[in-house]
Amino acid sequence: MTSPELGEHISFPFDSDAATLSFTAGFVANGIRRHHRVVLITHALAPADLHALLAARVPAFAAAVDAGQVLVLPATAAQLLGGSFDPDRMVTDFDVLIARTRQDGYAGLWVSADMSWATPDVPGVERLFDFEAASSARLVGGPVAAVCQYDRRLFDAAFVDQACARHPLTPGQAPLRFAANAGPGVLVMSGEADLTNREALAAVLDPLAGMEDDVTVDAAAVRFADAGAAQLLARLAWRRAGRRTEIRCSPAIERLLRAIGADNVAQVTIEPAYG
């Protein structure tokens, strides 16, 4: 996961300085090699300290910083700008960053954020989980890949688990990948859906509920969906009652959907497919 594809939203929980540094070094090296702009947001370490550590580990690092390909920013200039966390400002700032990335000729933007700033005393931090989930949806099909690094030594286990469930991808947990390039109203998903990425799936499906046109969720390449994920798919069809919703999935998921009554919803088609 140190070499994500654009559109991916990854959480990386870590429990040692060595683990986060090794991940970040791999991420930067891959980003440089793949000609993306790489933005590192740091909090536990001062930007100059992170810069020195990475310069010692990634051969091309200093040159990439000089060339403007890699930016190292403190969280106080990003998520914590003005001393509070404001998701709306984050979205605006990212749009600017994306536009600049395009102007500067990079194919995509890779962001890695040290989330150590997200302590309970930060104003606005109560909006973080919604922002994380919404980011999973916003990133699909776009030119950004983002990694959120959570220090397990700093946050309690339940907080980190809740944060991870809002990312489709977490190392060692069920991986979900999405593509939105199959046409309007078509969401293609692959991987596995369980409790460890449920809120991310809910957020990615959410915008489909309001679409007037036909919607197809092509989940043929989903190897496993738990009952909660099946419920989210059924709920999408139910919210769209009266408008066509097609769900393509494996025979196993088809049986699960029928078992929970998803086929009783008006205008739903559940199409068995072999992924």
Partner 1 sequence: MADEDALDIWPPPGVTGPPLLSEKFDRRIITGIRHSVGAIASAAGLAGQRLDDFILAVNEMMTNAVRYAGGWAG
Residues that bind partner 1 (CB under 8 A): 157, 161, 172-174, 192, 194-196, 224, 226-228, 252, 255-256
Encoded amino acid at 32, one letter: I
Phi, psi of 80 (to 5 degrees): -100, 15
We find the least distance from the C-beta atom of residue 157 to partner 1, in angstroms, to be: 8
CA proximity to 90, closest of 135, 45, 147: 135
Token output for 153: 């030594």
Rg (CA), the chain: 20
CB 205 within 8 A of CB 47: no
We find the least distance from the C-beta atom of residue 13 to partner 1, in angstroms, to be: 8
We find the least distance from the C-beta atom of residue 256 to partner 1, in angstroms, to be: 7
Encoded amino acid at 125, one letter: V
> Which C-beta is closer to partner 1: that of 20 or that of 79?
20
CB 88 within 8 A of CB 18: no
> Which C-beta is closer to partner 1: that of 172 or that of 183?
172
We find the least distance from the C-beta atom of residue 152 to partner 1, in angstroms, to be: 10
We find the least distance from the C-beta atom of residue 173 to partner 1, in angstroms, to be: 5
Strand partners, 12: 149
> Which C-beta is closer to partner 1: that of 136 or that of 173?
173
> Which C-beta is closer to partner 1: that of 174 or that of 219?
174
Strand bridging mode 176-179 / 186-193? antiparallel
Could you tell me how many helices (H) and strands (E) the chain has, helices first?
Answer: 9, 10
> Which C-beta is closer to partner 1: that of 135 or that of 196?
196
We find the least distance from the C-beta atom of residue 34 to partner 1, in angstroms, to be: 28
Helix, strand, coil shares, percent, the chain, to 5: 45, 25, 30
Measure Cα distances from 243 to 6, 216, 263 in Å.
31, 11, 14
Token output for 22: 């090794």
> Which C-beta is closer to partner 1: that of 46 or that of 260?
260
